Amino acid sequence: MLERLAGVQGLLEGKAAVVTGAGNGIGRATAELFARQGASVVLADVDGPAILDLASSLEREGARAEAVRCDVRDEGDVEAVMERAMSSFGTLDVVFNNAGIEQPVMSSRDVTEDLFTRVIDVNLKGTFFGCKHALRHMVGAGGGTIVNNSSVSAWANVGGNVSYAASKGGIMSLTRVLAIEHARDEVRVNAICPGVIDTAMNERNLERATDVASVRDAWMAATPMGRMGSPEEVAWTVLYLASPMSGFTTGAGHLVDGGRVAT
């Protein structure tokens, strides 16, 4: 399928984009795809070496890319990332609020206040900061597109991840509110809702499991397509929402879940 998309070119030509959590997984795959579609990209992540490596790789391909270390829990860090896009590229057209962390699978009774707060701060508050400071540049400047990384956990759940599910459900509500507020400003705000994707986050979840095989089997049983998705498959959905292909779409949560919610 992805090979058939190889001929799609230039969907973000002349645009400037910010990708948070760009160091690995879905963020990295999306930043690479944005750059190959013509965007200049600001790469933001707490993992400085990872984004420096990615920036160098993209520049070797002829893209414009800058790496900015950013902890999305810090509003000043997030604001600085958006300002960097403006100072380096003169515009801010696309923001993918992707940075996020998981909660180890456990009973909600055992989730500490510190763990709950940390997950909410990174996933939900970090996404809010990204939207807030993106909108300050987009509103009144011709518009733009914001894509937030929610989750299938905002729609369907099996328990054991209360802070993560709460944060991702909050992202969906935040997305809808901002989409309504800014529909007349030519700013579209949408979300992706990935299912089980082959990322470092899910590898960590597997490593913590006492029976890795049974957890993996449960994931596959809950996914009608019977496999994990790839970061690249999610990235193409982000590109669709970020590009003119989805020009009449706002306030939507796009499932990339192999059919899980349809069951």
* DSSP H helical ranges for 61-156: 75-89, 113-120, 126-138
* DSSP H helical ranges for the chain: 25-36, 48-60, 75-89, 113-120, 126-138, 162-181, 200-208, 212-221, 231-242
Residue owning tokens 């990708």: 19
Which of 100, 117, 118, 57 shows the shortest CA–CA distance to 204? Answer: 100
**How far, in Å, CA of 183 to CA of 250, rounded?**
8
- How many Cβ atoms from other residues are within 10 Å of residue 114's Cβ? 8
Say whether 240 is catalytic: no
* 42: three-class secondary structure by DSSP: strand
User: Out of 21, 164, 197, 199, which one is annotated catalytic?
Assistant: 164
67, 54 contact by CB (below 8 A): yes
Q: Which residues of 26-61 are buried (b: 16+ CB within 10 A; e: fewer)?
A: bbbbbbbbbbbbbbbbbbbbbeeebbbebbeebeee
Burial of 88 (0-12, 13-18, 19+ CB in 10 A): middle
Share of the chain residues as helix, strand and coil, in percent rounded to the nearest 5: 50, 15, 35
Active site residues: 164
